[in-house]
Structure 1
């Protein structure tokens, strides 16, 4: 998870919000289990703004998304506040794993991290990584709640993060081999930038990469 600066509300949502919300309110009166129309809040222009906000990554786990894996999550569940069904600030891009989150009654959103509210410093103060395995920072309750709510410790995510670390290590080994051939103790500027690239927020699992690199290969970053 990294902090996300949300882009401005799409014009289509500004224009249609009241109309869509009114239709949903009427549907709720007839059927308490009615759901908002996903074709509306999933409008391509809305989806595009969400993708651009997060560099095409899940807001929660930082997995790169493509095709059918792109889902739009209501951060505050519609069952909790149906008036936020089409609210821009309540729509988050999510993978299917994180969208299948623990509900509000189990773990309220205000007891977990929010990538659109919390800074990178706040996020890293509550969650960290041991290689590909996510864990709470200093037994932080907010960190534990975040991991549990969005299933950030799922085996599938461990596998994806592990493969990403393998990619990083392949690059590091290549740089280290070249340093040995050249008789250098430090990387070149270009080599340093290659490694630092993995830490940038547009990359998958950038927080994990940052923690891993700073912990194990600090000399390549200086």
Structure 2
């Protein structure tokens, strides 16, 4: 999870919000279990804005999304507040794993991290990684709640994050081999940037990558030879 700067509300949502919400309100009167129309809040223009907010990653786990894996989550569940059905700030891009989250009665959203509200510093104060395994930072309850609510510790995510670490490690080994061959104790600026690229928020699992590199290979990040 990384902090996400939300883009301005899409024009179609500004234009249609009241109409869509009124229709949903009427449907709720007829059937209290009615759900908002996903073809409306999932409009391609709305979805595109969400994709641009997160570099086409799940807001919660940072997995890159494609095709049917893209879902739109109501951060505050519609069952809790039906007036949030078409609110721009309540729509989050999610993978199917994280969208199948623990409900509000089990873990309220205000007891877990919010990528659109919390800063990177706040997120990193509550969750961290041991290799591909996510864990709470200093036994943070908010970190634990976040991991549980969005199922961030599943075997599937461990596997995906592990494969990403293998990619990083291949670059590290290549850089270390080049340094030995050239008799250098430091990487070049280009080599350093190869590694720092993994830590950028447009990359999958960028927080895990940042923690892994800073914890294990900080000497490759701090100072570099000019090319």
Which category describes the TM-score, using the shorter chain as reference length? over 0.9
How many Å separate the matches in 2 of 1:172 and 1:8? 39
TM-score under structure 1 normalisation? Answer: 1.00
Q: For this pair of structures, how many residues does the alignment match?
A: 222
How many Å separate the matches in 1 of 2:220 and 2:182? 15
- CA deviation map 1:61-83 (0-9, x unaligned): 00000001000000000000000
Where structure 2 has 5 or more consecutive residues not aligned to the other structure, the ranges are 223-227
How many Å separate the matches in 2 of 1:7 and 1:174? 38
Matched, 1:128 2:150: no
Matched, 1:66 2:57: no
Q: Please give the root-mean-square deviation of Cα atoms over the aligned residues, in Å.
A: 0.3
How many Å separate the matches in 1 of 2:13 and 2:154? 33
How many Å separate the matches in 1 of 2:181 and 2:19? 66
How many Å separate the matches in 2 of 1:164 and 1:140? 26
State the secondary structure of the residue aligned to 1:114.
coil
How many Å separate the matches in 1 of 2:15 and 2:47? 16
The residue aligned with 1:75 is 75
How many Å separate the matches in 1 of 2:69 and 2:14? 26
Where structure 1 has 5 or more consecutive residues not aligned to the other structure, the ranges are none
How many Å separate the matches in 2 of 1:88 and 1:136? 29
1:161: Cα distance to partner? 0.2
Q: Which runs of 4+ in 1 moved over 6 A?
A: none
Matched, 1:175 2:165: no
TM-score under structure 2 normalisation? Answer: 0.98
